[in-house]
Structure 1
Amino acid sequence: MMVKQARAAVTRQALISAAAEVFGTDGYAMATLPAISSRAGVSSGALHFHFPNKEALASAVESAAAESALALTEESARAAKGGRLQALVAAVCRLMDAVADDAVVRAGFRLGADPSRKSEAKLHDWWYEWVRNALVQARRNGELAEDVSAEDAAVVVVAATLGLETLGATDRYWQSAERVSQLWSFALPRLSPAE
């Protein structure tokens, strides 16, 4: 029984990874279940055993992406030594690395914005809330310039990071460390107190 459960877990993960790759390159509307099962190296029957339809598979990819994104942002926040603003910088850097390098995270963001489906996971909404909360805490800690609204700053940071993520879908340079560094070189002097 344990061997079957382990094999089922491996198959499920292979399907999620393959689906992320296909959704990430083809988009939701153009992705097909035969292409996903073929990429995963499993039969169509095995795919349907785990996921009854394409939407269920897309939801599983989004959920896996959200788990990964939450884990890496929280880890960045715990590891940051310079306060909440520094934690935000670290989290953005880690998230953009994940978008560039992790097909599941990349597909999760793409699926959340895909107009051909209605997303339940709302990865973009989660990201906005995470950034806003980090900036509200930075405000409480005196880490934001007096004339900077945490709400306004959150809109700018989220729009910039999601813009880099979207542009990076066709040109990976937009997701590079250099582009993220340019973002922070421009934004941090505006966000931080003068001293």
Structure 2
Amino acid sequence: MVKQARAAVTRQALISAAAEVFGTDGYAMATLPAISSRAGVSSGALHFHFPNKEALASAVESAAAESALALTEESARAAKGGRLQALVAAVCRLMDAVADDPVVRAGFRLGADPSRKSGAKLHDWWYEWVRNALVQARRNGELAEDVSAEDAAVVVVAATLGLETLGATDRYWQSAERVSQLWSFALPRLSPAE
């Protein structure tokens, strides 16, 4: 049992260290020795848990997806004003996580990294989550008559991923102020006039 606990701690340390390295260096420039060094474990321990860099990147993406799903679902449950308000809360929480959580930040960055062939799974999940929230908002009468849930999803996802990308070099793009500007512009267009 002690070995299993130690293995779980080592695995988590490797995922955290990999997230930091992938987040700053990108996938192509990240090296396994840099990751094992940052985690404080031997390269043998790294290879025991992850056979290669792609497996480690996939583990980071999976951990990021779990965190992102948990915070968006929590936001949706806590929102009192319907699905549109839940979407606003989820975007705010997700942008906070992108700014503050190296694993979530790296998960989104890895999904858009052109040096990987794995596809943008986290981006695809985010699009589906946003689209589903807006489809439900449409059913609840929370969207303006002339607003398509599909079109609104494209705009919200493009805006949030744009803020995430710009924030990679200037954290101000991921700030609450920038997210507030997004919603100040978008909500009057999305919401019914009354």
Place the TM-score, normalised by the shorter chain, in its bin.
Answer: over 0.9
Deviation at 1:60, TM superposition (A): 0.2
Does the 8 A contact of 1:131 with 1:157 survive in 2? yes
TM-score relative to the length of structure 2: 0.99
Does the 8 A contact of 1:63 with 1:121 survive in 2? no
For residues 24 and 37 of structure 1, what CA distance do their matches in structure 2 show?
15
For residues 108 and 77 of structure 1, what CA distance do their matches in structure 2 show?
21
Using the aligned pairs only, state the percent identity: 99
Deviation at 1:118, TM superposition (A): 1.5
Does the 8 A contact of 2:50 with 2:56 survive in 1? yes
Does the 8 A contact of 1:59 with 1:121 survive in 2? no
Matches within 5 A, 1:86-165: 86-119=85-118, 122-165=121-164
Deviation at 1:156, TM superposition (A): 0.2
- String of CA shifts for 1:5-41, please: whole Å, max 9, x gaps: 0000000000000000000000000000000000000
Deviating above 4 A after TM superposition, structure 1's stretches of 4 or more consecutive aligned residues are none
Deviation at 1:173, TM superposition (A): 0.2
Deviation at 1:121, TM superposition (A): 6.2
Cα RMSD of the aligned pairs, angstroms, is: 0.7
- In structure 1, the residue matched to 2:170 is 171
Does the 8 A contact of 1:59 with 1:120 survive in 2? no
Does the 8 A contact of 1:83 with 1:138 survive in 2? yes
Does the 8 A contact of 1:72 with 1:94 survive in 2? yes
For residues 126 and 110 of structure 1, what CA distance do their matches in structure 2 show?
14
For residues 47 and 130 of structure 1, what CA distance do their matches in structure 2 show?
33
TM-score relative to the length of structure 1: 0.99
- String of CA shifts for 1:25-83, please: whole Å, max 9, x gaps: 00000000000000000000000000000000000000000000000000000000000
- String of CA shifts for 1:72-117, please: whole Å, max 9, x gaps: 0000000000000000000000000000000000000000000001
Does the 8 A contact of 2:112 with 2:120 survive in 1? no
For residues 133 and 191 of structure 2, what CA distance do their matches in structure 1 show?
14
Deviation at 1:119, TM superposition (A): 2.1
For residues 129 and 56 of structure 1, what CA distance do their matches in structure 2 show?
24
